[in-house]
Amino acid sequence: MTAAETPNPPAAPANAWQFVRRGLLSDYLVLWLSVVYFAVLAPFTPGFASESNLQTILAYALPILVVSVGLTLVLIIGGIDLSVTSMIALASVVGGKIMSADEGWLAGNALAIPVGLLAMLLVGATLGAVNGFAVTVCRIPAFIATLTTMMFVSGLAIWFTLSRKIGGLPPNFLLIGQQLWIVAAITGVATWLAHSALARTLYGRWLYAIGHNTRAALVSGVPVQRVIFFTYVVCGLFAGLAAILLTAGLETGNPEMARDNLLDIVGAVVIGGTSLYGGKGRVIGTVFGVLFLALVDNSLNLLGLHFYTITMIKGGVILAAALTDALRNKLLASR
Amino acid sequence: MEAIADGDANRQLQQIRTFITRKVDGIVLVPKDAQTCIPAIKAANEAGIPIVLFNRPAADAPGVKSTAIVADNRKLTRETVAFMTEQARKTGKKHKAMVIIGDLGDINAVGRKDGFYDTAKGQDAVLEVVAEVPSEWNQEKARAGVVNALQANPDISFIFSSSDFLFPSIVAALKSANKYHKIGEPGHVFLGGFDGDATAYQMLVEGYLDATGVQDVYFEAEQSVQALLDQMAKKDVATLILDPGFVIHQGNLAEKKSRMWGANVSKK
């Protein structure tokens, strides 16, 4: 055998490592994982790839995506908002109290739906402003400020309704949640707006600058306090929008709405590559994160796994995402 | 297939849709509450899959079809409180009473509260209701409420709990007030509950609990399966099937315990 005919043994592992490295550093890693997960599970999971199941996945994932997109913006500035689920609960019951034909303040009035929708958005934005004020003016750490808001608002929602669920919502309002294309359109527009703001505007660049180094951003002329305040308001607004979708979908104003969804929301954002330390993240990553978590959740349900097993697996997936993020950072630093 | 929503109505809706995707022949749903289960029932109706609600009926909604198997909460509570009242009457004294109520958004809690007052209101010679403790089906809230009520009215000697699962909180509060004594002992507080769980069974065996209204879950399970089969066979099925349940107390414990689900859970 001549030298020219001899294969080069180290080339294969080197190429494989390059492939893994490229995959790890790709912005579309989670999307590829979702595609692979879907392709691998589909043959073994009855009904996983059916049209009705894909609709089920979307119906569950889209409201989660809306609130996750708002949270992505807050995480990019190095903040956190633990109160988004309680905002959803309060917005849900306030909207219900306005629109319900049974007990609504505007029952039967033509303005019930527009006023109800506006009020739900306003509840989210107002609570976002409270968080923003606490973080920027009172200088309370975001974790404590939003944890307190969560506790207060959760209690307020239950007190406001005396624990009662509010039914009798107007049929035209329920259409928002019953027609998947409407949910998809609303979610699509909200997500696109957030993506554009982040990727193509000065506001987006300010968010990254604040997340990277707040002091440096301040010195560079970024109106740091105003941007942080505004970002919490936007996050609240997205929570209000999610409340509209969830309330219409469940046909009920519910003071416990989304109470158990915080894991899915934060998890999806982290899986999507947004850093909990700030300065890094993309809306499209969050879209992939929500999609991946919804696929995992749905497939495990279809396989008949126990709820607690599913929760443990989802926790493991989120941990794996955090570890992958750490590995990506290390690889980027070694470039 | 089995799925647990762990109190999350949105998850429960997704799980029902998943069952529909798997083309199950019938669904037994333990609804999170009367309102939020309506989209799930609609989805099952649209897919032509029979659906039975276990332990809680849905709120009225046009065009929504299901069968609910539910304990007759009001009647069973009325009977339980009536038994307790008769025992209290034998002491020859008038008793100050406390009622612990559940989440009033839950139709079962409302039925139990109404059942309590149905009996208590006609018993002025034996009972005076001095405290109504809202628990919202939360043990911590129940405990705080019972402690406060016992501080305000230390001579309370008659307590009805809308659910047996609140007994650990009530017993803890009674122990701290030194008021937890067996039946027949001086200072015994008349205790009654609803459900028939393992804690209640243990308290009956140990002689602390006077009575509890037992939901006959075996009857409810049998009726649920039967209702599903009847719906599949296109037979007419009632929209509401009531479980009459039974009152269990010291006098009939040996006879009735085999039908008390808490006694059977306790054995395991």
- pLDDT tens-place string over residues A75-119: 999 999 999 999 999 999 999 999 999 889 998 899 999 999 999
Nearest CA in chain A to B47: A52
In this complex, the residue of B3, B6, B34 whose CB is nearest that of residue A301 is B3
pLDDT, tens digit, 9 for 90 and up, residues B55-97: 888 888 888 888 999 999 999 999 999 999 999 999 999 999 9
Say what the pLDDT of residue A176 is: 94
Across residues B159-182, what is the average pLDDT? 94
CATH level 3 topology of A49-333:
ABC transporter involved in vitamin B12 uptake, BtuC (1.10.3470)
Instruction: For residues A255-274, give the mean pLDDT.
Output: 90
Fold of B73-214: Rossmann fold (3.40.50)
CB contact under 8 A, B35 and A298: no
User: Coil, strand or helix: which one is B98?
Assistant: strand
Interface of A with B in 141-180 (CB under 8 A): 158, 161-167, 178
CA-CA distance, A334 to B228, in Å (whole number)? 63
Q: Is A298 on the interface with B (CB under 8 A)?
A: yes
Query: Residue A263 — pLDDT band, cuts 50, 70, 90?
Result: confident
Mean pLDDT, residues B138-164 taken together: 93
Say whether pLDDT at A10 is over 90.
no
Q: Residues of CATH 3.40.50.2300 domain(s) within chain B?
A: 9-71+216-244, 73-214
Give the pLDDT confidence score for residue A1 in this predicted structure: 42
Q: What is the pLDDT of residues A45-76, one digit of tens each?
A: 888 898 888 998 999 899 999 999 999 999 99
Nearest to A156 by CA among A241, A83, A255: A255
Contact B2 A158 (CB under 8 A): no
The reported pLDDT for the residue numbered B211 is 97
The ranges assigned to domains in chain A are 49-333
**CB B173, CB B179: distance < 8 Å:** no
What string of DSSP letters covers B195-213?
E--HHHHHHHHHT---EEE
Q: Which option is the CATH number for B9-71+216-244: 3.20.20.10, 3.40.50.12280, 3.40.50.2300, 3.20.20.450?
A: 3.40.50.2300
pLDDT score of A205: 96
Which pLDDT score, from 0 to 100, does residue A211 have?
A: 96
- CA-based nearest distance A196→chain B, Å: 30
Distance from CA of B66 to the nearest CA of A (A): 17
| β B67-71/B51-54 pair status | parallel
Dihedral sign from CA coordinates of A320, A258, B51, B48: negative
Give pLDDT, residue A105: 93
Q: What is the pLDDT of residues A171-215, one digit of tens each?
A: 999 999 889 999 999 999 999 999 999 999 999 999 999 999 999
Q: Which uninterrupted H or E stretch holds B114?
A: helix B107-120
Residue B9 has pLDDT above 90, yes or no: no
Contact A162 B8 (CB under 8 A): no
Q: Tell me what pLDDT residue B266 has.
A: 74
Mean pLDDT value across residues B5-30: 89
Q: Does B128 touch chain A (CB under 8 A)?
A: no
A260·B2 Cβ contact <8 A: no
pLDDT in tens, A122-181: 999 999 999 999 999 999 999 999 999 999 999 899 889 877 789 899 999 999 988 999
Does the beta carbon of B125 lie under 8 angstroms from any beta carbon of chain A?
A: no
Angle at A213 between CA A210 and CA A214, to 5 degrees: 55
Nearest CB to B6 within list A301, A302, A307: A307
Tell me the chain B residues in contact with residue A46 when contact means C-beta distances shorter than 8 Å: 22
pLDDT at A325: 78
CB distance from A205 to chain B under 8 Å?
Answer: no
Share of chain B above pLDDT 90, in %: 74
Average the pLDDT over A9-14 and give the result.
63
Say which residues have a Cβ less than 8 Å from residue A32's Cβ, sequence separation at least 6. A23, A26
List, for residues B190-249, the tens digit of each pLDDT value. 999 999 999 999 999 999 999 999 999 999 999 999 999 999 999 988 999 999 999 999
| A133, A201 Cβ separation under 8 angstroms | no
Assign A4 a pLDDT band (cuts: 50, 70, 90). Answer: very low
The predicted structure's pLDDT at residue B196: 95
